[in-house]
Structure 1
Amino acid sequence: MAKSSAPIILLALLVNTMLVATNASGCENDVNSLRATCLRFVGVNGPKIEPDKNCCNAVRGADIPCVCTYLTPAVEKVISADKVVFVAQQCGRPLKPGSKCGSVVVHGR
């Protein structure tokens, strides 16, 4: 009988999210707001999907470059830096070409 890995994944997500929130001393409110509203759009699983209005409102009010500095390799096991960049762009807050968000370097168009 195989056990579900969902509780383990949920625990890892919670721990990693808590690590981001506690490390992001300069932007912990932004991290918490984005975690609450955008998590389903930036998770590692699944395709990129356009963020909803609530997520975009949080993105527009956040210091995204600050949040990006806290996307550590451990956090990136749960949060996709590529999707964070995508969501920021979709919400009208694209990161500057050459900037870094987690492990992703933003390219210009």
Structure 2
Amino acid sequence: MMNKKVTMRERLAVVLVILVLGSCGCGIANSQLSPGECNQERRLIENSCRPVAFGGQPSAGCCQLVRVAHVECVCPYVSPKLVALVGAGRLINLVKGCGRPVPPNFKCGSITTPP
């Protein structure tokens, strides 16, 4: 097993991936957010969901934010490096644990959910 040094930025990016998978196509409002609103949404998620980046389970507050998140705010941050670091399967299971369905074949950044 290879040991990887994971930076805080990469750990917080894990939170963003959880957000992305949680927000995919499930009745999210179609309103466009400003860049400032997107940044604020990402900061709220990062703060509320931080334990997930360290292997913990999502809190009720984290799950609530995941359920109302906007895809357009986080998909641009999903890179191949991030997906390789975290593992898409683990993230999908965490999102499902928040009570959020994950649609098949959903593409966001470097993640495509299984059929």
TM-score range, shorter chain: 0.5 to 0.7
Q: Indicate if the aligned counterparts of 1:17 and 1:75 stay in contact, CA closer than 8 A.
A: no
- The aligned runs of 1:93-108 (5 Å cut-off) are 93-108=100-115
What is the identity, as a one-letter code, of the residue corresponding to 2:75? C
> How far is the alpha carbon of 1:64 from its aligned partner?
4.2
RCO higher in structure (CA 8 A, sep ≥6): 2
Scaled by the length of structure 1, what TM-score is found? 0.54
The 1:104–1:76 alpha-carbon spacing in structure 2 relative to 1, beyond 3 Å, is: closer
User: RMSD across aligned C-alpha pairs, in angstroms?
Assistant: 3.6
- Unpaired segments of 5 or more residues in structure 1? 1-7
Residue identity in the other structure for 1:96: P
Q: How many residues align?
A: 91
Runs of 5+ unmatched residues, structure 2: 17-34
Percentage identity across paired residues of the two chains: 27
The answer as to whether partners of 1:72 and 1:102 remain within 8 angstroms in 2 is yes
1:39 to 40, 47, 50: 50
**Amino acid of the residue matched to residue 28 of structure 1?**
N
Q: Tell me: CA distance 1:87–1:66, structure 2 relative to 1, closer, same or farther (3 Å).
A: farther
Indicate yes or no: 2:74 matched with 1:63: no
TM-score (norm 2): 0.52
Structure 2 CA distance, aligned partners of 1:27 and 1:53? 21
Structure 1 position 80, deviation (Å): 5.1
The structure with the larger Rg is 1
Q: After superposition, give the CA deviation of every residue in 1:22-57 in whole Å (9 maximum; x if it has no partner).
A: xxx37323221211111221x3x64xx542211111
Residues 15-94 of structure 1: pairs in structure 2 closer than 5 A: 17=12, 25=35, 27-41=38-52, 43=53, 46=55, 50-64=57-71, 66-76=73-83, 81-94=88-101
